[in-house]
Every structure is written in structure tokens, then in C-alpha cells.
A and B are shown apart, each in its own frame.
Chain A
């Protein structure tokens, strides 16, 4: 019998919510753009992130997963 006969069962996990994923992504993207774009507009970027976060949290509060 192959050694992988005994499976590791799939378990219940708590997946990241969309707004959490977006927060992580935007944070990494912010650093990347800061390093690559001298004209990077911090204020505009923060405003955009806040807008998306508000909308995502509202959609999630409305039950969209």
C-alpha cells in the first residue's frame, strides 16, 4: 500500500474575509508603489483604500461572503 493511504482530513478553517485580504494586499501594494513611484500619492492611495474597505465591510455585513 502506498504511504499516502492515510489521508490528512480537510479541516474547518476560518478563511480570511475579503476586507482582510484587501487590507493585506493594499498594505503590500502601498510599499511596492512607494518604492517604485516617486510621484506616489499617499493621500489618494489611503483615500482609495478607505473607500474600498468601507464598501467591502458593508457588503460583508450584508451577508456577502
Chain B
């Protein structure tokens, strides 16, 4: 940035400052005795740019108002590396009211920024540096002879480590945040663990319950099937029992008649055979006569044959009836088998669902009668197999068995209903367990992620520290090399080499003593020369880093402790030290009278108006 004009009113000792058409290259020499207002010009520039000066902070800015006045103002016109010209104005009154305005020099009616903060931001963007960087580089205050603080933002900016430092600070903040945030998931995880323990969900239990449900359902269906089969078999038996009785009676009757037919046939045919013998006895002859008196002898033959036919007929009848009885017996056998099956069914029932053998229910409520006693069942089955069980007997026994089956099935259904509820509750518990487990897994993932982030950031901070040290080291080398190039010019070759360590402590190598010396071992004039060389190197670094164009520099009494020869030498060398530091403001009590500068400003102790050439 190059200054083209400076004007001010009621600032410090001046009623008015008017510096116009300032040279963009070369030395602007400001001279004058003590309290003549030389430094005020630098402070005016500083105030115009940043709203404060090296000596007066923003909170004490009213001190910049000329004694006896109520307000002051300053306007500076400048150009930046793009070539654009800007006009920056500030106003300040005794009440602390301060305003600022930035506009293009060729368009003053349309400000680019108004107000302290917007103007500060715009100036920062235009110049590429802020007040701290300016003070540590382009502005050497009269009293300042120390090196800049190595950890200042300005030096960080010059070294190029500011982004690294900012990055590390950001990482540290994130690290602290992550570490603090670790506690919450840990607590929440512990709470979830406790809830899971309290829930005590057994992953196998739903399977066991489902298996129980399937088993009981199968049993219930089996009982129902048995009941249906028993009912059907009993109904069948009871339906067939009268037929069986009739068939058995008929068979007995047919057997009797068959016997009679056999006897009749045997007697008739035997008599006929005996009477028809040629040598018959007198009895036979007498009997023959008697029979023939009533019917022909062949009647016996026909009668015998008829009885034989009846015998065969009844035989067949018996066979048919026997077959029917056997068929009817099968119904009894089937019913007996059904009854016998129930024993196995009872054995297969779960212990808790078994009914008491007789009398009352398990809860003693006077339930229906129990099953038949085993011996009664065995006798009934025997009767059924032989077809001797009566309908009443079967009805009574089957009713008891069916009542027992219904009771057992009722218990099973009740148990199944309970089981269904239990399965539903278990399903809800599983859902709760899954939900809590999911939350715990999420928290564990989050925790693992945070640990990873913490590890990353710790590692990144370590790497950044190394890179920052590396860059600082490189920066110090760069400074040392640059100062080494300029220092001999200021010291007439007495000092050529510098050591600049990480905290910017400077030691200079004396060619005369052939050793490095601390600043406190060197004369004040040489200290000032070294600091000037260092300041110029820092300025060049800031230009490289942030300005990237021509720049002014303001040196307030840099030659205070220089002898005449060194002053002349420095004044000759300064304009040629940098291609970019082209406008050099130098304040001195007096300059060698034979030297000519691009602009000379002489300040008078009594004058209150500073303008080109002199003050009045």
C-alpha cells in the first residue's frame, strides 16, 4: 500500500496536516527538533488506517484530539497492489464518538464501507494485514527497539504459521469437546446396561415358549380328535348294539332249529332206511303197516330230505348271522381301542395339566367325575370286545371319558391362552431388549467414533506441531539470510551474520571479535541497526505473504544512535534494499544538509500546520 496524500484536522499537536501528491518511490524525510510533531505524522497515518496508534489504544482515542478542540478528523488517500485508489476518513470527538468511511478515491459519494467494524474489515482485506502486523513490520516506533514477540499473530502471519496455529487451536477445541462428550455416552451406556440386566431377557425363552405352544396345540388337536373318534365309536357301538343283540338271538334260535332239523332228518331217513330193508323184523313190518295205513312209505323219505334241507338252510342262516355279529363286535373292539388310547393320551399330558384320577379337580372345586378306574376300563373293554357291553354301560363310561377329555382340553386351551399372553409379553420384552441393545450399540459406535476422532486430532496436533516447528525454523533461516544481506550495509561490514532462534532472540556475529554476541553486548546504535535490518526483513516477508505489491514503511528515528557515516550509509542503502518497499518515511531530528530526498517535511515546535516543505 502506498500513501498519496494525508490530511488531518485537530490531530495531536496539529490544527491541520496537509500532505499532497506524495512520492510513491523514495524517501520522505520528516525532520524537526524535539516536540515538533514529527511522530504525529506517523500516528496520523496509523490512526487513519486502524483507528488507533502505537501509543494510544482505541479506548483512549480521544487523547489524539488536539488540546482545546472537541473533535478531530483524518483522511488518507492510498493505492493498493491492484492500482485502485481509495480514500479512508475517520472522525473522532471528545464524547468518544468515532466514525470511519472508506470509498474509492474517484467516487467519494458512494462509500464501500461505513462504521468502525466494516471499515476495519475492509481495510484488512485491502491491505492484507492488521494493526498488529503493521506495528511489527512497516512501522518502527520511536521508542521501539525490541524484536516482535515470536508468538504474536503478526509474526505468525509473516512466518506463514498462522493457519497452522489456528488449525491446531481448532483441533484442540474439537479434542476437548470430544473428550467432554465422551462422558455422556459412557453414562448412558451404563444406564442401558442396567436396564438390560433388569430386563433379564433370555433369547432362548421365546423359542421354548413357541415350542411349548406348538406341542400343546398338537395335543389339544389330538385330544379333540380322540374325543371325536371316541364319540363316533361310542355312537356307532350304541347304534349297533341292538342289532347285535337281535343277531345273537336269531343266531341262537337258528342254531336250535338247525339242531331240530338235523334230528328230524336223521330220524326220518333212518326209519325209512330201516323199513325198506328186505329182511325186516316183525316190529318193522308192524310199523310199516301202520305207516302205510296213513301215508306212503316214501313220505318218510321226503320228510327226511325236507329236514335235511332245513338243516342246511339254518346252517346258512347261522353263518350269515355269525358274520353280522362279528361285524358288530368290531365296533365294540374299536370303541375299546379308543378307550385304551386314552391311557396313552393321559400319560402324554404335561404334569401340570393332568387331572386328578377321580373326584375333584386340582383346585378342589368339585369338578366332574374323573375317569373310570383302570379295572373298570379293562372290564368294559373286555365286554366291548365280546359284545356284552350294554348301551347304558357304554354311555355312562364314554360320558365320563368325554367329560375328562373336555376338561383336559379345557386346561390345554387355558394353558394355550396363557402361553399366548406369555409369548406376547416375551415378544414385547424382546422388542424392548432389541431397542435397548440397538441404543447401546449406537452409543458404543458413537463412543468408538469419538475415540477415533480424539486419536486423529491428537495425532494431527502432533504433526502440526512438527510442521510448525519446521516452518518456524525455515522462517528463522530465511530471516537470518535476509538480515545477513542487509545488515552489513547498515554496520559498514562489521556485522554480517545473525542467529535467530525460535523465540526470535537475535545474536549477531562480530567480524572483529569473531564470535556471536547478544544484543545487550552491542552498542545502542548497532542494536538499532540490527533491529532495522530485522524489521526490513520482516516487512519483506509480510509483503511476500500478504501484500504482494509495493508498500510504504514508516521509520521513526531509526538513526537515533547512528553516527553520521552510518546515517549517510543507511539513507543511501534503504531505498535500494527492497524492490517492494518503495515509499520510505523516515523521521529524524535532522538529516545531513547535503542530502536530497524525494520529499522533505520540516516540523517546527511552534507550528500547528504541517504541509509539504515545512510546518507553520
Contacts and interface: CB of A to CB of B under 8 A. Distances in A.
A39 interface: no
Contact of A7 (B160, B163, B164, B489): B489
A14 B459 CA distance: 30
A21 B470 contact: yes
Nearest to B489: A7
Interface in A1-55: 2, 4-5, 7-19, 21-22, 25-26, 29, 44-45, 47-49, 51-52, 55
A17 B579 contact: no
Given A16-B160, A18-B164, A48-B463, A7 B455 contact: no
A60 B163 contact: yes
A4 B484 CA distance: 11
B252 interface: no
A28 to B, nearest CB: 9
Nearest to B470: A25
Interface string B575-593: 0111111000000000000
Contacts of A26: 463, 467
A46 to B, nearest CB: 11
A50 B546 CA distance: 25
A60 B546 CA distance: 12
Contacts of A8: 485
Instruction: Report, as a range, how many residues of chain A touch the other chain.
Output: 35 or more
A57 to B, nearest CB: 9
Contacts of A12: 543-544, 548-549, 579-580
Given A4-B489, A12-B544, A59-B167, A21 B467 contact: yes
Given A21-B470, A21-B471, A59-B167, A10 B488 contact: no
Interface string B117-133: 00000000100100000
Contacts of A13: 544
A23 to B, nearest CB: 9
Contacts of B460: 48, 51-52
A11 B579 contact: yes
Contacts of B188: none
B537 interface: yes
Contacts of B471: 18, 21, 25
B466 interface: yes
Contact of B163 (A4, A29, A64): A64
A56 B167 contact: yes
B160 A65 contact: yes
B160 A2 contact: no
A24 to B, nearest CB: 9
B544 A44 contact: no
Contacts of A11: 578-580
B489 to A, nearest CB: 5
A9 B485 CA distance: 9
Given A2-B493, A7-B573, A51-B456, A17 B463 contact: no
A65 B167 CA distance: 12
A62 to B, nearest CB: 9
B446 interface: no
A48 B459 contact: yes
Contacts of A16: 160
Contact of B482 (A10, A18, A44, A64): A10
- Count chain A CB atoms within 10 A of each CB in B163, B485, B493, B545 and give the residue with the most: B163
A10 B163 contact: no
Contacts of B543: 12
B493 A4 contact: yes
A49 B486 CA distance: 38
Contacts of A65: 128, 157, 160, 162-163, 545-546
A49 B576 CA distance: 42
A25 to B, nearest CB: 4
B578 A10 contact: yes
Contact of B166 (A4, A9, A59): A59
B549 to A, nearest CB: 8
Contacts of A29: 463, 466
B541 interface: yes
Nearest to B133: A65
A1 B582 CA distance: 25
Contacts of B163: 17-19, 56, 59-60, 64-65
Given A4-B496, A18-B162, A48-B459, 9 more contacts: A10-B581, A12-B543, A12-B549, A12-B579, A18-B161, A18-B471, A22-B464, A26-B467, A51-B460
29 contacts: A2-B492, A4-B493, A7-B486, A7-B489, A8-B485, A9-B577, A10-B485, A10-B536, A10-B579, A10-B581, A11-B579, A12-B543, A12-B544, A12-B548, A15-B544, A18-B162, A18-B163, A25-B463, A25-B467, A29-B466, A44-B455, A49-B463, A51-B456, A51-B460, A52-B460, A52-B463, A56-B164, A59-B166, A64-B162
Ordered nearest first, which 5 A-B pairs have the shortest CB separation?
Answer: A18-B163, A2-B493, A10-B578, A10-B540, A25-B467
